[in-house]
């Protein structure tokens, strides 16, 4: 019998040559640990109580922990923050599948700059993750006053010309400049972007922009591209959407506005946020990281310009 202490909240076992291992009642392995103790299955007990061993088993050999860093398919996760999050969530019995899927999605990002800080940014502002590795963000929109009205082609063209970004913007894979399409959108969509009031969109639509026209310089707060934001960044909008964004669509985290928005090349509108931060059931949330855990040193090479987002959408 190994030295063991128990309480209503945890079990602690002292393993020879290893030291103390603790499992909390909230841990998914808690009941299995109790059974292993009863059966005196010491080897199994260590595997159950050591997250490095149990994660490896759960991942069928695709996951491992090396020097405190979680590896997937032989490569470390994108950041120390993400690795620590996986370990913490595993020990608390919270599903880690969304975090693993998120890391795999990060591999589609060509930019080291944003891939290395994206998870810390999402944690700082409590962006929830979907189980397919995408994350949920917020988007402020305005009412489309042209919906259902008798708008002429000439008037529609004038509205379309309000933003120089529009020739490079698409709704559901079709460019706004496609003959007849923009007029159709203007008459049928419920909302417009809040800056140029020229991009019609509704729940279910995917809004995208050619990547080469999206500014990837985080020092430029006001620049070309599509923008989504955090809860706090969009809290003053009368109309607010819940949107889905994949890591591969993230281009830059601008320095202004307390790092609370992301410049992206695509987002999909999930629903109207009528309840203000009432997450869909298939979205995973977790406690935010502490302020000091957010490494702003990644931005040391840039100076914030303090500009507000007054000409982009």
Domain ranges of the chain: 1-49, 95-313
Region for 204 from its dihedrals, namely left if φ exceeds 0, alpha if ψ lies in -120 to 50, beta otherwise: left
Q: How confident is the model at residue 312 (pLDDT cuts 50, 70, 90)?
A: low
Has residue 311 got a pLDDT over 80?
A: no
Has residue 70 got a pLDDT over 60?
A: yes
- The pLDDT tens digits for 4-40 are 888 888 899 888 877 888 888 877 778 888 888 888 8
Least Cα distance to 82 among 303, 286, 305 occurs for: 286
d(C-alpha 29, C-alpha 26), whole Å = 9
Note the residue count of the chain.
313
| The two structure tokens encoding residue 67 | 């020097």
d(C-alpha 55, C-alpha 129), whole Å = 20
| The two structure tokens encoding residue 66 | 């090396």
pTM: 0.75
Q: How confident is the model at residue 117 (pLDDT cuts 50, 70, 90)?
A: confident
- Residue at token pair 């959407």: 241
Has residue 284 got a pLDDT over 90?
A: no
Tell me which of 130-139, 157-166, 172-181, 224-233 is least confident: 224-233
Q: How confident is the model at residue 72 (pLDDT cuts 50, 70, 90)?
A: confident
Q: What is the mean pLDDT of residues 108-119?
A: 85
Pair 144, 189: CB distance under 8 Å: yes
37 to 10, 40, 51: CA distances (angstroms): 13, 5, 17
Task: Compute how many other C-beta atoms are within 10 angstroms of the C-beta atom of residue 26.
Answer: 12
- Phi/psi of residue 11, each to 5°? -130, 130
Position 8 scores a pLDDT of 83
- Residue at token pair 């090479």: 301
């Amino acid at each position: 019998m190994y030295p063991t202490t128990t309480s209503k909240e945890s079990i602690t076992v002292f393993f020879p040559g290893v030291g103390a291992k603790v499992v909390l009642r909230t841990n998914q392995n808690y009941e299995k640990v109790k059974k292993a103790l009863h059966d005196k299955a010491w080897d199994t007990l260590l595997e159950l109580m050591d997250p490095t061993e149990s994660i490896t088993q759960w991942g069928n050999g695709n996951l491992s922990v090396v020097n405190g860093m979680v590896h997937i398919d032989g490569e470390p996760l994108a950041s120390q923050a993400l690795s620590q999050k996986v370990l913490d969530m595993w020990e608390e019995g919270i599903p880690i599948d969304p975090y693993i899927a998120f890391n795999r999605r990060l591999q589609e990002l060509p930019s080291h700059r944003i891939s290395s800080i994206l998870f810390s940014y999402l944690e700082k502002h409590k962006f929830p993750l979907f189980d397919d590795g995408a994350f949920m963000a917020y988007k402020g929109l305005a009412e489309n006053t042209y919906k259902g009205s008798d708008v002429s082609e000439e008037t529609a063209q004038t509205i379309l010309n309000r933003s120089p970004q529009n020739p490079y913007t698409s709704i559901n894979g079709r460019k706004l400049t496609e003959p007849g399409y923009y007029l159709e959108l203007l008459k049928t969509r419920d909302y417009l972007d809040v800056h140029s009031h020229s991009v019609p969109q509704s729940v279910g639509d995917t809004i995208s922009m050619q990547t080469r026209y999206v500014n990837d310089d985080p020092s430029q707060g006001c620049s070309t591209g599509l923008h989504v934001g955090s809860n706090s960044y969009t809290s003053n909008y009368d109309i607010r959407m819940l949107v889905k964004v994949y890591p591969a669509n993230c281009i830059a985290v601008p320095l202004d506005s307390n790092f609370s928005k992301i410049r992206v090349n695509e987002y999909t509108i999930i629903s109207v946020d009528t309840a203000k931060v009432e997450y869909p059931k298939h979205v995973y949330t977790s406690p935010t990281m502490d302020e000091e855990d957010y490494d702003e040193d990644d931005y040391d090479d840039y100076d914030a310009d303090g500009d507000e987002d007054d000409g982009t959408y």
